[in-house]
Amino acid sequence: MDGKLRNMASLYILNGDEVLLLFRQGGRVVNNVWTGSAGGHFETFELNDARACVLRELKEELGADENDIKNLLLRYVTLRRTKDEIRQNYYFFAELRDNVSRDFISNEGVTRWFKFHELAALEMPFTASFIIKHYMKTGCKTDVVYAGVADGNKVVFTEMPAF
């Protein structure tokens, strides 16, 4: 292991009992699976600011900005070792503002709103599928930030308290 890192951020936009997902097409790392509403790799100037990354991706991929969402919160940070690199993922959740259209078009693939009960049947990237399961069971009931480490079979979560 030579210490190569890949930093990425992802945003899940919620609206009532639904979440907006993207069927990502043509991606360098993630392709032909359902992912968060928007997301991608950090730019050099964002390496210490995951929020800036996810807001830039929101603008680039959905043409939306921070005024279109509310309660933007970092909820999960995960680590996964794959292909001689460590992938660090920062997962944000936000709510769509009431006055904003639900009709999003992405330059990265196809967007679609899903009911929460439909999510378990979707093909998602390894870590993201565990984030969604954990969020639906536990994370949606708390304001906790969780850390997750992928072990090849699952992602093990722990609360990440500030101290």
**SS3 (DSSP) at 42:** coil
70 Cα distance to chain centroid: 16
Decide: pTM greater than 0.85.
Answer: yes
Contact 111, 21 (CB under 8 A): yes
pLDDT tens-digit series, residues 4-39: 999 999 999 999 999 999 998 866 666 688 999 999
Chain-wide mean pLDDT for the chain? 93
- N-to-C CA span, the chain: 31
CA separation for the pair 75, 111 (Å, rounded) = 22
pLDDT tens-digit series, residues 136-161: 999 999 999 999 999 999 999 999 99
- Selected residue with higher pLDDT from 27 and 119: 119
* Residue found by looking up tokens 């709103």 in the block: 113
How much of the chain, in percent, has pLDDT values that exceed 90? 85
Note the pLDDT of residue 3.
Answer: 82
